[in-house]
């Protein structure tokens, strides 16, 4: 048995199996299992100890039916104007209404998920964003699980079994970078991005709104620090299937070039990013004495986690002091000399 397999089996024995066996079949629910699992995690290994208002593991209930829509507006249909307005409207929408923008080629797609029925959504959109011109015919009422298909596979009618397919079938190369926008980007800047999006090698831009529940949690309450004060996350995304350095260089240059152009209009000191859009341009780990250098890792780590990075490194030092589990951007163990007085 390998060391990795032994550690994974130990974690299974410590946390998962006791919860499976301690919950009777009559009372076995996802809620009960997660409550048990949360209670099994040692409090000193949590980023923040559990409290009545926060649990490290939680379920969110959704209604039987949700409503989705995708509305496309071209540059000629005032897409620039709509994106500029969206920046201030979307983060302030009711918490059960999510409205993102995907900008591709010469149009913007406004995609929504609403935890409710179409009639109510139409009323909300008229009140908050009438310029978009949303009508009832744009709605599609589906179940929540179907909405995951809608956003992942662009159709709510595909078989749900696709969600169970964990096979690794890469058929393209991908590069993504991200920013946090804290002040609305001016109209003329959005107008200038159409030139970038008209290029043959152009990718897409994805604008995900924050606000709502995201802004109600303190930045230090969880490892994820990008809370109040952020309007939305801006992702620069490119994928291509051609092999060779020419295609690689062309697509990477597009992402990096547009990212550089947007620098004056996004978060600063540091210029932050979203950890799940891994960006090795921000920095890579370096080893010293076969352990990841904490000082080097801070370069990229504080862009993802801000002031929470040191706390995460302190936890890493407790559970994996030898840095066995590591990659180009894994959390390093905090050097013993630095300590952490809150652990």
Looking at 264, 282, 300, the residue that finishes a domain is 282
Angle at 68 between CA 197 and CA 166, to 5 degrees: 75
DSSP state of 15: I
pLDDT averaged over 10-residue windows placed end to end, the chain, 343 residues: 49 48 47 58 57 57 92 97 98 96 97 97 98 98 93 85 79 95 98 97 97 91 94 98 96 98 98 96 90 93 96 93 93 75 45
Other CB atoms within 10 A of residue 169 CB: 5
Q: Give the pLDDT score at 171.
A: 82
CATH code, domain carrying 192:
3.40.462.20
- The DSSP result for 79-114, as a single string, is HHHHHHHHHHHGGGS-TTEEEEEEEETTEEEEEEEE
* 147 within 8 A of 66, measured Cβ to Cβ: yes
Task: Indicate which residues carry an active-site annotation.
Answer: 277
Cis peptide before 270 (omega within 30 of 0): yes
User: Are 145 and 188 within one domain?
Assistant: yes
Q: Which helix (H) or strand (E) holds 213?
A: helix 212-216
User: Are 122 and 12 within one domain?
Assistant: no
Q: Compute the Cα dihedral for 81, 84, 88, 90 and give only its sign.
A: positive
User: Are 27 and 99 within one domain?
Assistant: no
Q: Give the pLDDT score at 194.
A: 98
Q: Give the pLDDT score at 26.
A: 43
Q: Would 335 be classed as within a structural domain?
A: no
What residues have CB less than 8 Å from 172, skipping those under 6 apart? 239, 240, 241
Q: Give the pLDDT score at 154.
A: 81
Q: Would 267 be classed as within a structural domain?
A: yes
What domain range includes position 9?
A: 3-40
Q: Give the pLDDT score at 23.
A: 44
Q: Would 339 be classed as within a structural domain?
A: no
The total number of structural domains in the chain stands at 2
Strand partners, 208: 233
Specify the pairing of strand 232-240 against strand 204-209: antiparallel
User: Are 143 and 229 within one domain?
Assistant: yes
* 209 within 8 A of 232, measured Cβ to Cβ: yes
* 245 within 8 A of 267, measured Cβ to Cβ: no
pTM of the predicted structure, to 2 decimals: 0.83
User: What's the token pair of residue 321?
Assistant: 């002091």
């Amino acid at each position: 048995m390998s060391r990795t397999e032994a550690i994974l089996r130990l974690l299974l024995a410590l946390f998962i199996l006791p919860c499976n066996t301690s919950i009777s079949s009559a009372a076995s629910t996802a809620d009960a299992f997660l409550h048990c699992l949360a209670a099994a995690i040692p409090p000193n290994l949590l980023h923040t100890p559990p409290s009545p208002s926060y649990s490290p593991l939680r379920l969110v209930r959704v209604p039987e039916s949700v409503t989705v829509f995708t509305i496309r507006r071209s540059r000629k249909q005032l897409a620039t104007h709509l994106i500029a307005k969206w920046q201030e409207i979307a983060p302030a929408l009711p918490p059960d209404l999510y409205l993102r923008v995907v900008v591709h080629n010469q149009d913007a797609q406004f995609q929504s998920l609403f935890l409710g029925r179409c009639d109510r959504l139409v009323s909300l959109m008229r009140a908050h964003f009438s310029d978009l011109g949303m009508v009832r015919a744009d709605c599609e009422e589906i179940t929540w699980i179907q909405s995951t298909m809608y956003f992942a596979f662009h159709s709510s009618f595909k078989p749900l079994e696709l969600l169970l397919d964990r096979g690794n079938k890469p058929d393209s190369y991908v590069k993504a970078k991200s920013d946090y926008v804290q002040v609305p980007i001016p109209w003329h800047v959005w107008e200038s991005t159409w030139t970038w999006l008209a290029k043959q090698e152009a990718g897409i831009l994805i604008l995900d709104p924050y606000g709502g529940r995201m802004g109600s949690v303190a930045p230090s309450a969880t490892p994820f620090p990008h809370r109040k004060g952020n309007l939305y996350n801006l992702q620069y995304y490119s994928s291509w299937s051609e092999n060779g350095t020419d295609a690689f260089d062309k697509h990477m240059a597009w992402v990096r070039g547009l990212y550089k152009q947007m620098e004056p209009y996004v978060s600063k000191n540091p210029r932050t990013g979203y950890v799940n859009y891994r960006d090795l341009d921000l920095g890579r780990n370096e080893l010293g004495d076969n352990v990841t250098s904490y000082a080097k890792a801070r370069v990229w780590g504080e862009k993802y986690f801000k002031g929470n990075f040191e706390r995460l490194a302190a936890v890493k030092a407790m559970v994996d002091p030898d840095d066995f589990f590591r990659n180009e951007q894994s959390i390093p163990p905090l050097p013993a000399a630095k300590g952490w007085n809150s652990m």
